[in-house]
Structure 1
Amino acid sequence: MRNRGVTKAACFFVFSALLIYATFYLTTFLRNPSPNLFPRLEIENTEYTILDQLDRMERQINQIAKSLELDVYKVSQSGEEHSEVKEEKKMRLTKKLFPNSELFNSWGDELSEEEQRQAERLFQLYGYNVFLSDRLPLNRTLPDTRDIRCASKVYPEQLPSLSVVLIYLDEALSVLKRAIHSIIERTPAHLLKEIILVDDHSTNDDLKEKLDEFINQVHQQRPKLLKKISHMQRLGLVKARISGWEAAVGDVVAILDAHVEVHKQWAEPLLARIKADRTVVLSPVFDRVDFDTLAVNSYSANAHAFDWQLWCMYESFRPDWYERNDPSAPGK
């Protein structure tokens, strides 16, 4: 629609200019019929009448108008074809190959078809978005989900030393590396005694040489910080945790899954509470990491429990904890 408007405007402008030119010419011609006044018209016969001149000028105007309309049409057609190509390309990029996959419900619209295949294959293998994890930095920024009263607390420098045990079985390498990196970066160096990696007989090749290379890189900055225990056969979650606990030498042992990322000041509240009462067994608040976008979502504080089938579940704290209205206080 816009190009047609341009065509009409251009034709109207040219026609108006030529009409003014013709009027001026005829007025001058009537006063002085010399053919040399306007040599561009190339009057070949002095016997041409005024009607002959008008007829010739009309043909010239029509030719110019047709030429302008044709040029604008070509530009318009080229623009429409270019838009169609862009739209077709966009449709190819946004076409979902796995519309029924949970992975692509709210993620992955910009992926190419080959990238979608890779992402879906890894999702079926691991159950979460390894394609995205492999592209995130190890030191990615996490939202601070703590209550403001938790963030404002100050803890003593002298606290028990900490051994962190990470249990894994065929975990994605990037997820495991990010867990290790977050623990190192967000735990005070004088408190972190060691990180013990317990491999419950993984078959993933990435968890062999590539993981060993990463461990060697860490040891260049923090010698002997990482220990690796490899089971010769799969023993299960409980025995894997016991293996890590038996190998630990720190004052306190924190046993975590390998697909975690810790927050800033995650360890100090736990260690301070244990220092005050060494008989307590503590659990931090675990926020949720979305399986598809890997976004971190805050969870409210609850007590951990188990049902009769030994499935983990959450229970409310005792009523007195809610009456205090202080989320920074430990709950039971």
Structure 2
Amino acid sequence: MNFIRRRRSALIKLAVTLCTFWLFLAFTISYRSSGLVGQSEKAWLNEAPPSPMTELEQKKKVDHMQQQMIEPKPTHSSSLPARIKQSHVVTFNLKKQQIQKMRKKPPLGGESMQKNVIDVPQSLLHIEAVDIYSYSPDMPGENGTAVVIKKEDLPPKERALYDVGWQKNAFNQYVSDRISIHRKLPKIPDASCYKKQYSDNLPKTSVIICFHNEAWSVLLRTVHSVLSRSPANLLQEIILVDDFSDAEHLKNQLDVYMDRLGIVKIVRLPKREGLIRARLSGAAVAIGPVLTFLDSHCECLEGWLPPLLSRIKENWSNVVCPVIDVIDDDTFKYHCGKSWMTNVGGFDWNLQFNWHPIPERVRKSRGDPTAPVQSPTMAGGLFSIDKQYFEHLGTYDPGFDIWGGENLELSFKVWMCGGKLEIVPCSHVGHIFRKRSPYKWRPGVNVVKRNTVRLAEVWLDDYKNYYYERINFNLGDFGDVSDRIALRQRLNCSSFEWYIKNIYPELFVPGNSIAKGEIRCMGQNKRHCLDFASGRKEHNKPISMYPCHGEGGNQYWMLSPTGEIRRDESCVDYAGQKVFLSGCHGLKGNQEWKYNFKDKTLTHVISGLCLEMNHDATGVIMASCDSQNLNQQWTFGEVVRQR
């Protein structure tokens, strides 16, 4: 018994000794490892920006440091190719206190990052150019929600950054920089879209994104939304075309970042070319059978790509556009529209693109509200087209300069030369719509006018005169269009009259007007004309008076046979208070006027009141009719016929 007790005691002592030894060994290894990581991290954070002479060494160091980093889980990562998953944006494995400190002051994109305004080492940002903030479902802007930041609540330095972001980009960069570049977005609201089946053999596409001095966070969010929400087998490549940007964050920093993704090409233009030639440069190097053009401030919803490619697989001459959702330029809220809200493209006789509801004749014939819908024109920023068909149509007019009119030229060309233009309700892409352009061009050249005159000369036939009336037949130098006319003849394209009758019969044709041109008031020395700012955004604002300039534009009006005073699809309206411009509804009512060709008065039929210029010649009022009052007498630039 004593022997057994002694043996048991010895075994217990041995076990205790072994446990103590292993605990000591583990503690020692852990301590040394912790010290090594700390030293390495400290050296990394204090390191200067890399020299171009040691780029290979820096890349090796980046690869080594990635072993100490963790990869965030991008939304819908299952759709990413294996090579992209391995090189996706990584998150630096910081201590909890550091992460909390940084989240109080989120990353500022582009040039702000270079100034190191947050407590993040400039060397890390420069070498890696990564988003070092972990993706989290509680981050601002998730699921497309609005991010509201009141400028007055910010400290002075932050307010300055807030203002600079708006000034440089014409959208709220300060808000964008606080939203994850991998943020989740709402699902397409139409459940039937998820039930649709697509071929397993859809063509691949090259996605072409042109940019000039785009904000860092917005550009990256665009690229990653394409990567994470496009099936890997359908995405051939992403081509970024840099239209001569001078922002530092779009130079080496962008090269290093995109090189890690393995599927992104960057094309650098040696001088400022504009959207049209930038897109042509991207198309020239694309290897995918389908070209998909996107703007550099977009976000794609899940499932956006297969519906587009499916239509092109059915017919190579189908040119297809997604539904363009609105991303608020201030709060970055994503507004996702349902299929019944889908609009189609049109244009007015200023040759400006506009949106309007699906015509009733088309709506009645559609059984499935999520089925592709034919559109007379496209906005032009977001669409897919078979590359060979694009080349067959002559691509864009090479005589077009910078931007403007290219969307209508391609729209007319597609329809008139045997193709079809569609909007696909099950494909959604969000777009930041800016209220102004942040870019500057050389002064003294009206490139939009030059482009649209070329467009009219080639494609509008005799209908071009309706546009020329708006610019007082001042065509300017629009270059040689003989090669484009020859292209139209070679493609055996239909007439523009065919296009109006078969594709866009809803378009109001000015030739039906009984009077048109400026509407000049006989009062105050006949110097003032009815005037209104262009664009549907100005609807429901009062009509104004302005000195007559004889240039058409804002002072060009048409009196229709049904008594409408029209600006293409907009009509002068009076509902008892102010005289304003509204969308034409064709129901007469508040939009019906009667012009007396003898006493030159304009009478509002329902109210019985007459249109009168106010005393200071800045606007109009409605008053009891007095044919002797010169402020109630009006003349049109041209009377076509009296009724």
Give the TM-score, by structure 1 length: 0.63
Identify the residue that residue 585 of structure 2 maps to in structure 1: none
Amino acid at match of 1:144: K
Amino acid at match of 2:278: A
Amino acid at match of 2:237: E
* CA offsets 1:288-326 (integer angstroms, 9 cap, x no match): 000111010124322234445554322333434422353
Change beyond 3 A, Cα 1:327–1:107? farther
Q: Percent identity?
A: 37
Amino acid at match of 2:309: L
* CA offsets 1:248-301 (integer angstroms, 9 cap, x no match): 111111011110011101000001111111111111101000011101012432
Distance 2:228 2:198 in 1: 18
Distance 2:196 2:150 in 1: 37
Is the contact made by 1:129 and 1:291 (CA closer than 8 Å) also made in structure 2? yes
Looking at secondary structure, tell me which structure has more helix per residue.
Answer: 1
Counterpart of 2:261 (choices 208, 218, 224) is 218
Amino acid at match of 2:342: A
Bigger radius of gyration: 1
Is the contact made by 1:166 and 1:196 (CA closer than 8 Å) also made in structure 2? yes
Is the contact made by 1:305 and 1:315 (CA closer than 8 Å) also made in structure 2? yes
* CA offsets 1:8-56 (integer angstroms, 9 cap, x no match): xxxxxxxxxxxxxxxxxxxxxxxxxxxxxxxxxxxxxxxxxxxxxxxxx
Counterpart of 2:171 (choices 124, 128, 140) is 128
Give the TM-score, by structure 2 length: 0.33
> How many matched pairs?
224
Give runs of aligned pairs for residues 1-332 of structure 1, distance below 5 A.
107-108=150-151, 110-219=153-262, 225-299=263-337, 300-323=341-364, 324=366, 326-332=368-374
TM-aligned CA deviation for residue 200 of structure 1: 1.0
Change beyond 3 A, Cα 1:105–1:190? closer
Higher relative contact order (CA 8 A, sep 6+): 1
Distance 2:254 2:235 in 1: 20
Distance 1:310 1:237 in 2: 18
Distance 2:310 2:155 in 1: 50
Give structure 1 stretches of 5+ with no counterpart. 1-103, 220-224
Give structure 2 stretches of 5+ with no counterpart. 1-146, 375-643
Change beyond 3 A, Cα 1:307–1:246? farther
TM-aligned CA deviation for residue 202 of structure 1: 1.0
Looking at secondary structure, tell me which structure has more strand per residue.
Answer: 2
Change beyond 3 A, Cα 1:176–1:147? same
Amino acid at match of 1:172: A
Distance 1:248 1:310 in 2: 31
Distance 1:235 1:154 in 2: 41
Is the contact made by 2:255 and 2:266 (CA closer than 8 Å) also made in structure 1? no
Change beyond 3 A, Cα 1:107–1:279? farther
2:258 is paired with a residue whose SS is helix
Change beyond 3 A, Cα 1:141–1:107? farther
Change beyond 3 A, Cα 1:206–1:106? closer
Change beyond 3 A, Cα 1:308–1:201? farther
Amino acid at match of 1:328: T
Distance 1:215 1:252 in 2: 22
Distance 2:266 2:351 in 1: 28
* CA offsets 1:63-87 (integer angstroms, 9 cap, x no match): xxxxxxxxxxxxxxxxxxxxxxxxx
Distance 2:276 2:350 in 1: 15
TM-aligned CA deviation for residue 190 of structure 1: 0.8
Distance 2:349 2:217 in 1: 35
Is the contact made by 1:149 and 1:327 (CA closer than 8 Å) also made in structure 2? no
Is the contact made by 1:107 and 1:292 (CA closer than 8 Å) also made in structure 2? no
Is the contact made by 1:107 and 1:293 (CA closer than 8 Å) also made in structure 2? no
2:324 is paired with a residue whose SS is coil
Distance 1:188 1:105 in 2: 33
RMSD: 2.1
2:298 is paired with a residue whose SS is coil
Distance 1:306 1:213 in 2: 42
